[in-house]
Chains A and B, each alone.
Chain A
Amino acid sequence: MESFEPAWVALRLSLKVACWATLIALIFGAAFGYLLARKRFIGRELLDALLTLPMVMPPTVLGYYLLVIIGRNGIVGAWLQQHFGINLIFTWQAAVIAAAVVAFPLVLKGARAAFESIDMQLEQAARVLGLSAMAVFLRVTLPLAWRGVLGGALLAFARSMGEFGATLMVAGSIPGKTQTLSIAVYEAVQAGQDDHANLLVIITSLVCIAVLVAANKLTPNRNPLV
């Protein structure tokens, strides 16, 4: 069982990073998804395109952007260092940020589509029936949209689990600290440890399949209301 230990450590780290990244992506993705679906403002489609960018850009480019922002001399990084003595680079928190940025568009797309698919007359009906804006959101909008939002969040989770490029650039590959499953696979192959690589690959595949099956189950509109 000894050889399982490093894999187990990497898996736990990957799950921790993916959970936090998904949570962050979920909050921002749902909020921006709602904004894009419901508010009319100038530059709406441009904002959508900008927010979707992390999905299509090479992860190395994203990693570079992140270094520019949260790196030691980065815009936010320098400020954090100066005022709080916090350094994000080469920490698991940096891996969370990288994964969250990459996974965010998946929640955004799912949430926007989910909110757009709701007939606005339902919300209007609820208002006329005496509900406050918050109550309308909690009693009508959310119950009708949550499947789409959650489906997006599960895809985001799967994407976070598989994040490699941007993570490597901002968090590095420190075993037990920032070496996630996907990075551990790379290191194992590089080092010629094929058995270890096989194990890591199988674990990663199983986790991703489980998440995708769950995401498919939640995909809305196949049998939406029963």
Chain B
Amino acid sequence: MQISLDISKTLRSGELEFQLDARFASAAQRVVVYGPSGAGKSQMMKALAGLMTPDRGRIELTGRCLFDAATGVNVPARERNVAYLFQDYALFPHLNVRQNIGFGLQRGWRNPRAGVDGQSLNYWLHAFELEHVAHQFPHQLSGGQRQRVALARALAPQPSALLLDEPFAALDPGLRERMRVELDALQRRLEIPMLVITHDPEDVRVFGEHALYMEQGRIVEEKQT
């Protein structure tokens, strides 16, 4: 995905201190960062999306410099043009499926109307087979539908990269298998560069064109296939 990242950040939470020193570069379309929870994977992903500002370092994604502490470059999250799939999807609970998917397509200070329409919106509703739940709210959806809505919402604004934080952790095993196959096919079809962070070895097997192992804030091992 043409990514190069070299960042440091000291995170403090009360007495605890965590040192993130992540560095890697990859040209693969599918990169997986694998490691135990608490290894700093999510923080690294947040830095990529612009949701966390590193103390120092540089981030480059698909040929664009997003962050460079040395020259003071720090592209705000809203201009990074990446899709971010949160672990528990972070669907907007006050908006229905249509409004959630259309959220990033509408600028300004107002949310899309409940019956919001549009070519792109309908395309994603159709692609993820969500037409029949288009007017339902997130809490009325099944786990798999929630993930599809979150993916559709993230992909609708045509991002240049897809960042997935533990995409299948919230699903039960059978569904996890199915959604993994779905995402695999989707990525191949869209040819969108993808970075997955996970603690599940199965994700590494399926998506790990370039697999990195992270531990205690550092990338300690990598493997390319």
A interface list, Cβ under 8 A from B: 119, 121-122, 124-132, 134-135, 138-140, 143-144, 224-226
Contacts of B109 in A (CB 8 A): 134-135, 138-139
B148 sits at the interface (CB 8 A) = no
B82 sits at the interface (CB 8 A) = yes
Stretch from B85-93, B167-175, B189-197, B203-211 contacting the other chain: B85-93
CA distance A193 to B171 in the complex (A): 70
Cβ–Cβ contact A128 & B93, under 8 A: no
Contacts of B81 in A (CB 8 A): 130
Stretch from B64-72, B100-108, B120-128 contacting the other chain: B100-108
Contacts of A224 in B (CB 8 A): 93
Contacts of B111 in A (CB 8 A): 139, 143
Contacts of A144 in B (CB 8 A): 93-94
Contacts of B103 in A (CB 8 A): 126, 129, 139
Question: Contacts A128-B77, A129-B154, A130-B81 given; 20 further ones with Cβ under 8 A?
Answer: A121-B90, A122-B92, A124-B49, A124-B51, A124-B84, A124-B86, A125-B84, A125-B86, A127-B77, A128-B80, A128-B83, A128-B154, A129-B103, A130-B79, A130-B104, A130-B157, A131-B107, A132-B78, A135-B107, A143-B94
CA distance A193 to B153 in the complex (A): 67
CA distance A135 to B109 in the complex (A): 5
Contacts of A126 in B (CB 8 A): 92, 103
CA distance A204 to B157 in the complex (A): 55
CA distance A125 to B50 in the complex (A): 11
Contact partner of B92 among A127, A132, A140, CB < 8 A? A140
Q: How far is the CB of A41 from chain B (nearest CB, A)?
A: 14
Q: Tell me whether chain A's interface is mostly helix, strand or loop, or mixed.
A: helix
Cβ–Cβ contact A129 & B153, under 8 A: yes
Contacts of A130 in B (CB 8 A): 78-79, 81, 104, 107, 157
Closest to B94 in A: A143
B132 sits at the interface (CB 8 A) = no
CA distance A225 to B110 in the complex (A): 18
Contacts of B92 in A (CB 8 A): 122, 125-126, 140
CA distance A135 to B77 in the complex (A): 13
Contact partner of B93 among A127, A131, A135, A225, CB < 8 A? A225
Cβ–Cβ contact A129 & B93, under 8 A: no
Cβ–Cβ contact A135 & B108, under 8 A: yes
11 A-B Cβ contacts within 8 A? Answer: A121-B90, A124-B49, A127-B50, A127-B76, A127-B77, A128-B51, A128-B84, A130-B78, A134-B109, A135-B109, A139-B111
Q: How far is the CB of A59 from chain B (nearest CB, A)?
A: 38
Closest to A140 in B: B92
Closest to A137 in B: B109
Q: How far is the CB of B135 from chain A (nearest CB, A)?
A: 13
B139 sits at the interface (CB 8 A) = yes
CA distance A135 to B107 in the complex (A): 8
CA distance A140 to B153 in the complex (A): 15
Contacts of B79 in A (CB 8 A): 130
Closest 7 CB pairs of A and B: A129-B104, A121-B90, A127-B77, A125-B90, A128-B84, A138-B109, A130-B78
Contacts of A134 in B (CB 8 A): 109
Within 8 A of A (CB), among B13-70: 46, 49-51
Closest to A146 in B: B94
Cβ–Cβ contact B110 & A139, under 8 A: yes
Cβ–Cβ contact B94 & A127, under 8 A: no
CA distance A144 to B88 in the complex (A): 18
Contacts of B108 in A (CB 8 A): 135
Closest to A225 in B: B93
CA distance A225 to B51 in the complex (A): 27
CA distance A139 to B86 in the complex (A): 19
Contacts of B80 in A (CB 8 A): 128
CA distance A102 to B86 in the complex (A): 42
Closest to B81 in A: A130
Cβ–Cβ contact B137 & A226, under 8 A: yes
Contact partner of A121 among B86, B137, B153, CB < 8 A? B86
Cβ–Cβ contact A129 & B157, under 8 A: yes
Closest to A138 in B: B109
Contacts of B90 in A (CB 8 A): 119, 121-122, 124-125
